[in-house]
Amino acid sequence: MPERTATIASRVGLHARPAAIFAEAAGDLDIEVTIAREGEPADDAMDAASILSLMSLGASHGDVVVLRAEGEGAEAALDSLVKILETDHDAE
């Protein structure tokens, strides 16, 4: 299963605005994507398209998360989602 790590760039972490942007992008994909904090078991990963799951993750600025997906286009999808997480949406 393809996976990528990403460092949360938004200055106040994965709060409402960046979480909404990320969840919308993940939900628009034809594949299921999961997210977990680095070091957590893959079984504990949450649905990346769920804003509630993202908010409960509690990821702060500088935290590393792991994205996983399976299916056609998973590699490209993960690359695009990493870019979203590694963008400081609070600076815009």
* C-beta separation of 68 from 74 below 8 A: no
Q: Which residue, among 43, 42, 35, has the nearest Cα to 14 in the 3D structure?
A: 35
* C-beta separation of 54 from 15 below 8 A: no
Cβ neighbours of 5 (radius 10 Å): 12
Annotated active-site residue in 4, 15, 68, 89: 15
Q: Two tokens at 13?
A: 């972490």
- Whether 15 is catalytic is yes
* Catalytically active residues, by annotation: 15
